[in-house]
Amino acid sequence: MSVQDVRFDGSVNWPSNALSEVPFRVYTDPGQYALEQERIFKGEAWSYLCLAAEIPNPGDWVATTIGEVAIIVGGDDSGTINAFVNRCAHRGNLLCLTNKGHGREITCVYHGWSYDLAGHLTGVAFEHGVKRQGGMAPEFHKEDHHLQRLRVEELCGLVFGTFSDTVADLQSYFGEKVVGGVRRVLEGRPVHIIGRSTQILPNNWKLYFENVKDTYHASILHSFLTTFRINRLSMPGGINISDDGGSHFSYAKLDYAAEDADYQAANLRSDTDLKLHDNSVVESVDEFGDQISVMILTAFPNMVLQQVRNTIAVRVVRPRGVDKTELEWIHLGFDSDDETMRERRLRQGNLIGAAGYIALEDGCVGGFVQRALQYNDDDAGIVMMGGHDAESQNFRASEAAIRGFWKKYRALTGA
């Protein structure tokens, strides 16, 4: 279904103008999904594209998506990072068929049209015909047929792109609070990738994005967190939400020294009879000096930046249909890491990811919701924990960040 087929007269009815009731049909309606592709992913939003560390040299490129639109991101000879639609201007063929590559030009396998890494058309096979016969019409000019370009900006090594010519600059879009959260983790520290994985979630993309904004489910769903005292709602913490609601970061603080003493005294036992034979998966250091042990940051509409103890990762959320989502995990290390820290990050990487000790359940629960809504999507979900607004709070027993998501969503979709 294309956006032209979408009914703009409200195929999904909201219970009110408030943010604390969400109609279940937003997760199941094909027309709403098509509308999101146009109004959000191709609209007034900045979407995560890649890490600058993935394209360090001129000629490096990666293939990704914004929503379901195929995108190429590459560095040209001037050092500028460019992004453009991964679609040949000739007959619409997919240009890049692999996830990454290197070269001064990208050539279409179908008819041999080639482009530089700024998206300019540089060559047309048989442009002047063969033996003076055929060839392109006289009015054809290569400079009229470049690839569709995106605006690109970078923040602390994270590369973002937008189709919009009018959306505010990247830092204004995310706001001071969220930009500060990104800088806390990444600023001044060149990154490298120490691991990555991809999983397919059997649910609508919004269910996962809500999940990472849900600050209180972790104490219920993720038994590893509470069993081994990694993250509890009783810990000091809070939620910082951007003014437009769409992006946020939540955090929890830990007395690292006291925790280490407790673990030693308890022989790594939990509050139950369970115990760890090897505590290296939870043993951590306060590398930022602020006692924050867990920080989850969302950048609307498709990125999560996480710090869980000493494991740092970017999560990329890619819609793949009304009931399917691709979730990529990119585990980060830093050039300044010594061997001990590198090993610590790798071990703690087992906490999160597709089979992570504290992330496994998130890969299942969205699918449970999607199954429950199958042909049964009347009514609305209730998002009232912590009130009805989408403001920053100094506690985490709240759904304020979820309400913030819907505040931004409704502003962009006109709901």
* 322 in Cβ contact with 28 (< 8 Å): yes
User: Any idea which of 11-15, 173-177, 352-356 has the lowest mean pLDDT?
Assistant: 11-15
239: enclosing H helix or E strand: strand 237-241
* 401 in Cβ contact with 385 (< 8 Å): no
Q: What is the CA radius of gyration of the chain?
A: 23
Per-residue pLDDT tens over the stretch 306-336: 999 999 999 999 999 999 999 999 999 999 9
- The amino acid at residue 341 is M
> How far apart, in Å, are the Cα atoms of 147 and each of 65, 90, 96, 177?
15, 10, 13, 35
Q: Report the DSSP beta bridge partners of residue 192.
A: 333
- The amino acid at residue 357 is Y
What would the mean pLDDT of 126-153 be, rounded to a whole number? Answer: 95
For residue 240, is pLDDT > 90? yes
End-to-end CA distance of the chain: give it in Å, rounded.
Answer: 19
With a pLDDT cut of 70, the percent of the chain lying above it is: 91
Q: Can you identify the CATH homologous superfamily of domain 47-153?
A: Rieske [2Fe-2S] iron-sulphur domain (2.102.10.10)
- Per-domain residue ranges of the chain: 47-153, 177-413
Q: Specify the DSSP class assigned to residue 38.
A: I
Among the listed residues 149, 145, 213, the one whose alpha carbon sits nearest the alpha carbon of residue 386: 213
Q: What is the pLDDT of residue 272?
A: 58
- Average pLDDT score over the chain: 90
Per-residue pLDDT tens over the stretch 169-221: 999 999 999 999 999 999 999 999 999 999 999 999 999 999 999 988 776 77
> How far apart, in Å, are the Cα atoms of 62 and each of 56, 205, 229?
11, 22, 39
Among the listed residues 142, 45, 120, the one whose alpha carbon sits nearest the alpha carbon of residue 76: 120
**How many whole angstroms separate alpha carbon 79 and alpha carbon 341?**
31
Is the CATH number 3.90.380.10 carried by domain 177-413?
yes
* 254 in Cβ contact with 308 (< 8 Å): no
* 249 in Cβ contact with 295 (< 8 Å): yes
In the numeric block, the tokens 């560095």 are attached to 75
Per-residue pLDDT tens over the stretch 289-309: 999 999 999 999 999 999 999
**How many whole angstroms separate alpha carbon 376 and alpha carbon 362?**
22
pTM above 0.85, yes or no: yes
